[in-house]
Structure 1
Amino acid sequence: MVSFTYPRRLITQMIAPLLVLLALPTHAQWQQQDWDVMGTRASITLWSEQDATPLFLALKEEMARLNTLLSPWVETSELARVNARAAEKTQTISVEFYQLLARSLDYYQLTDGAFDITFASAGHLYDYREGTAPNDVALANARRHIGADRIELTAPDKVRFRDAGTRIDLGGIAKGYTIDQGIALLKKAGIEHAYLSLGGDSYVLGDHRGRPWEVGIQHPRNQQDIAIKLPIADLAMSTSGDYQRYFIQDGRRIHHILSPKTGKSIDGLASVTVLCADSIDADALSTSVFVLGAEKGLALINRLPDTSAIIIDRDGNVTYSDDLIGG
């Protein structure tokens, strides 16, 4: 089994896919709840002198609202409607949905196409539950429709697809956005200490009442093992991993992080964790770095202010962005 360590200066920033809270003390004023939404598990732990039940309900309602807005599996969602109709006729959408599309196109430009929500033009052909992938002919046809330059946005609320075969999926940014909305709700309620997670995306609000929250990065190849233990506070974090949705076909790991160029799963990396101020950015960047690969991905991260990354490749090697490497 591979054992991982972290540099000395890595003391307030880092996390990964399934963040595991370590040694959480039992206290009457620490309140916690979990529920399923967006195809994954949501979890909230917070400090409050009041009964947090109404706040938990508000969080659940907000996440459910965003799921009905952004899910490709909800037939009445805005995303599903746009996929079905935007190539035929310009669609009027909510300002919120428009802003998410615009942010996605910004990342498409920033990453030279590595972050591309039109990957769904090929992505919808994969069935991870059944363990099936498209054949070469179907994949070649789908690739012709990938490219976010096929999306035409007209402020403040219009979208059209220039290609009838183009589809979008906001899976690389939606959960991060949802975390940010949840944290805004907590702050408005006066909460100063909380840990909110949604799948591989999370935000640590404040500290753990005088000390950092201790979290762990799940080992990419052993769900029962922790790769790295970290103390963190006031930080957004997102992990993209090749073990979150996958199947094995002909000895190859087929997972959900696809190359926009090939329509196939990215090889080489096992997980990428990005840490920064906002979850929406951490979410988009963790996907982008995974697609770009370690060298190009870290070059991007090292150019961005107040942004860090931790990469674990399939051989168990750990690489850090420049700001996390101690002297």
Structure 2
Amino acid sequence: MKKFRALIFVFLIFFISGCGKKEYSKVEFLMDTVVEIKVYHKRKAEAEKAINSSMEEMKRVEQKMSCFFPGSEVSRINKEAFLEEKKGSLLVEGWIPVSDELFSLLKESVLLSKLTKGCFDITIYPLWKIWKFEGENIEVPSKGKIERALELVAYKNMILQNGKISFAKKGMGIDLGGIAKGYAVDAAIKVLKDKNINSAIVNAGGDMYVLGRKQGKSWRIGIRHPRGEREILGTIEVENRAIVTSGDYERFFFSGGKKYHHIINPKTGYPADECQSVTIVAKEATFADGLATGIFVLGPKEGMALIENLEGVEGVIVNKEGEVFVSSGLISKIEYVN
């Protein structure tokens, strides 16, 4: 079994020049990945303060939205949000009040579920509990376990109403792993902007946002080849954009000679098998994160059609055979690496 690689090796090529700005950075392990924040600024004290504040904001998001933190808001929802029927009347005990911040993210998750025809689904939590990609004794769950878990996975059975949430079936739960990293990146960028930082990069294991530009030059971002650990598929130049990649090389194990990766199809209960990687370029990392996950499951044909229909969104999809599909807005901008 190959261990999870914290960095997804999205390669950055920086064009750093004049104006007296220097690079300041910090690296920490958050959200089960390596998070790096780089800031380009004239004054060291201001840069370091901004970086520290951004890291603290990402920690706050993780502690609030991770289903692996027993005291998180998401964990409380998973324990308590269930509506029971008794004598034909709906009990109110299962309605759990949700913070405005989380409620907004839940609504965006539902939007992404609708856009991807249910291929992005945060109610995948029951499936995620039976699929384990780290630790000892890793194995493929039995068909029976998967079938039972699938009965509890359906975003339409997650009920959002007046700032509250409930589940239609007992045993349901939510896992924001497919969108929370992107949200944390956006939150960090907001802090940096509030601290008057105008040139920076926040990278959370492949969920990335590049802020501003450098002396009239855009950031050049290298997209990893999904079958080459340190190979670049191509580069694109961007500014003030999120770049998020979902790939089957992030977490996986082998069983019986077959590879099983961590991007589970919420409709089948097994790892999605139509793509090797999906890279999304969008205005916000939150949306890009969920969309990349959903399109990975949706597949290259429908996925690229969806990208083309979304304003301000571009993408690169590598299908299971290794063919590369690039959205119309990137075709003339991507530089392939031989």
Q: Could you tell me the TM-score, scaled by structure 1's length?
A: 0.90
Shift of residue 72 of structure 1? 1.1
Q: More deviation in 281-290 or 205-214? A: 205-214
Q: More deviation in 158-167 or 309-318? A: 309-318
1:142 corresponds in structure 2 to 149
Shift of residue 103 of structure 1? 1.1
CA contact (8 A) 1:31 1:45 kept: yes
2:121 corresponds in structure 1 to 116
Shift of residue 28 of structure 1? 6.2
Distance 1:23 1:53, change over 3 A: closer
Shift of residue 229 of structure 1? 2.6
CA contact (8 A) 2:66 2:75 kept: yes
Shift of residue 298 of structure 1? 0.7
CA contact (8 A) 1:205 1:234 kept: yes
Shift of residue 61 of structure 1? 1.0
CA contact (8 A) 1:238 1:286 kept: yes
CA contact (8 A) 2:178 2:293 kept: yes
Q: Quick one: which of 62, 65, 70 aligns to 1:67?
A: 62
Q: Quick one: which of 26, 29, 32 aligns to 1:33?
A: 26
1:286 paired with 2:277, answer no
Percent identity over the alignment?
Answer: 33
Q: Quick one: which of 96, 100, 104 aligns to 1:99?
A: 104
1:196 paired with 2:191, answer no
2:230 corresponds in structure 1 to 224
1:295 paired with 2:301, answer yes
Q: Quick one: which of 45, 48, 55 aligns to 1:53?
A: 48
CA distance in 2, matches of 1:324, 1:93: 39
Moved over 3 A (4+): 23-28
1:11 corresponds in structure 2 to none
CA distance in 2, matches of 1:155, 1:181: 24
CA distance in 1, matches of 2:255, 2:235: 32
Q: Deviations over 1:172-200 (max 9, x none)?
A: 11111111111111111111111111112
CA distance in 2, matches of 1:47, 1:109: 39
Could you tell me which amino acid in structure 2 is paired with residue 90 of structure 1? W
Q: More deviation in 45-54 or 141-150? A: 45-54
Shift of residue 21 of structure 1? 1.9
Distance 1:242 1:33, change over 3 A: same
Could you tell me which amino acid in structure 2 is paired with residue 46 of structure 1? V
CA distance in 2, matches of 1:110, 1:229: 27
Shift of residue 24 of structure 1? 6.0
Q: Quick one: which of 176, 183, 189 aligns to 2:189?
A: 183
Unpaired runs of at least 5, structure 2: 1-6, 84-93, 334-338
CA distance in 2, matches of 1:223, 1:24: 24
CA distance in 1, matches of 2:109, 2:274: 25
1:264 corresponds in structure 2 to 270
The higher relative CO (CA closer than 8 Å, separation ≥ 6) is in 1
1:128 corresponds in structure 2 to 133
CA distance in 2, matches of 1:205, 1:143: 40
1:235 corresponds in structure 2 to 241
CA distance in 2, matches of 1:154, 1:240: 31
Q: Quick one: which of 152, 162, 167 aligns to 2:159?
A: 152
CA distance in 2, matches of 1:254, 1:55: 40
1:7 corresponds in structure 2 to none
RMSD: 1.9
CA contact (8 A) 1:17 1:273 kept: no
SS in 2 for 1:223: coil
Q: Quick one: which of 79, 82, 85 aligns to 2:77?
A: 82
Shift of residue 42 of structure 1? 0.9
Could you tell me which amino acid in structure 2 is paired with residue 21 of structure 1? L
SS in 2 for 1:124: helix
SS in 2 for 1:282: helix
Q: Could you tell me the TM-score, scaled by structure 2's length?
A: 0.87
Distance 1:189 1:274, change over 3 A: same
Unpaired runs of at least 5, structure 1: 1-15
Q: How many pairs are equivalent?
A: 311
CA distance in 2, matches of 1:164, 1:126: 20
